[in-house]
Amino acid sequence: MAKGRKSIFITGAASGMGRETALLFADKGWFVGAYDVNEQGLKDLQDELGADNCLIRRLDVTDRADYRAALDDFAPAAGGRLDILYNNAGIGRGGPFDQQPFEDILAVVQVNFIGVLNGIYEAIPLLKATPNSLCFTTSSSSATFGMPGIAVYSATKHAVKGLTEALSVEFRALGIRAADVLPGLIDTPILPPGAVEAAPKEGMFRAMHPSEVAKVVWEAYHSDRLHWYVPEELAELDRASAAAPEAVREQMAGGAFFSGPTDRKPD
């Protein structure tokens, strides 16, 4: 039970950015709800956090009824409050668009966007009931400009970014804040072998530890900032894409930027 502590509900919590966020917030004295399809990863996380500091549960974010049930379990344990909803779960399946199985395309849309819609929609009552609550979502560096090789993944992350912007305005009337994070190359075991070693040692696509994203979630709760970039230099790409999309397109075609899914998670 939260016993008066602030609470955070995290999807994709069994590994990577979600796990690091759970560890950080527990260390800060928050009560953590950790959700994933990876049950063993959740059990390992619970062992590290302590059963009194967290609630774990398997959650398929694409199943709206399952998401609702998870929130229904979380609410009494958290004392009826939800200070941060962190929709972090996602998958990455890439390749040339014309060669991808359509089932893979739909799976990416279902997890990365429909899953986010499910979570936000079902969490609104709890977020409304909690002063200064934050609806936070993982977007991606691929939401700065459409990334070749991961076109649908990139499209879902653009959708998440656009949704966040719209809800940051709409939710003011409900007393809820909204923000997102756009991570670049995050150093987790999920990346393809050799990806970290092949990454540049500096610049916007250098490899970053997932704890850097966790720090941003913490900072976002104490800020009114809308978009967060990890590393911060990715904001330059976002601005360049808005100012001169054709120039960025030509740079992409020339292989100037890293084009792999940078924050992907396993099914």
The CATH number for 196's domain is 3.40.50.720
For residue 29, pLDDT beyond 50 = yes
pLDDT score of 192? 60
- CA-CA-CA-CA dihedral for 92, 231, 46, 64, to nearest 10: -40
Please indicate, yes or no, whether the overall pTM of this predicted structure exceeds 0.85: yes
Mean pLDDT confidence for 176-188: 88
Q: Which residue is associated with the tokens 């996602």?
A: 90
Strands (E) across the chain are located at: 7-11, 31-36, 54-58, 84-87, 133-138, 176-183, 227-230
Is 86 one of the annotated active-site residues of the chain?
no
Q: Which residue is associated with the tokens 């990455």?
A: 92
- Distance between CA 23 and CA 13 in Å, rounded? 10
181 located within any domain: yes
For residue 262, pLDDT beyond 80 = no
| Average pLDDT value for the chain | 91
Tens of pLDDT, residue by residue over 145-156, are: 999 999 999 999
258 located within any domain: no
263 located within any domain: no
pLDDT score of 264? 41
The domain total for the chain is: 1
For residue 259, pLDDT beyond 50 = no
φ, ψ (nearest 5 deg) of residue 205: -110, 30
The token pair that represents 92 in the structure block:
């990455």
Residue-wise burial string across 213-251, b where 16 or more C-beta atoms lie within 10 A, e elsewhere:
bbebbbebbeeeeebbbbbeebeebbeebeeeeeebeee
pLDDT score of 75? 97
pLDDT score of 257? 64
Identify the domain containing residue 86 by its residue range. Answer: 7-253
For residue 265, pLDDT beyond 50 = no
For residue 267, pLDDT beyond 80 = no
Which position among 35, 86, 153, 229 bears the catalytic label? 153
Tens of pLDDT, residue by residue over 92-150, are: 888 899 999 999 999 999 999 999 999 999 999 999 999 999 999 999 999 999 999 99
pLDDT score of 252? 87
206 located within any domain: yes
pLDDT score of 154? 95
For residue 67, pLDDT beyond 70 = yes
Mean pLDDT confidence for 33-60: 97
For residue 209, pLDDT beyond 90 = no
259 located within any domain: no
The edge-to-edge listing of strands for the beta sheet with 176-183 is 54-58, 31-36, 7-11, 84-87, 133-138, 176-183, 227-230
Mean pLDDT confidence for 233-260: 85
Q: Is 211 buried (19+), middle (13-18) or exposed (0-12) by CB count in 10 A?
A: middle
Q: Which of 34, 41, 33 lies closest to 15, judged by CA?
A: 41
Confidence of residue 38 (pLDDT cuts 50, 70, 90): very high
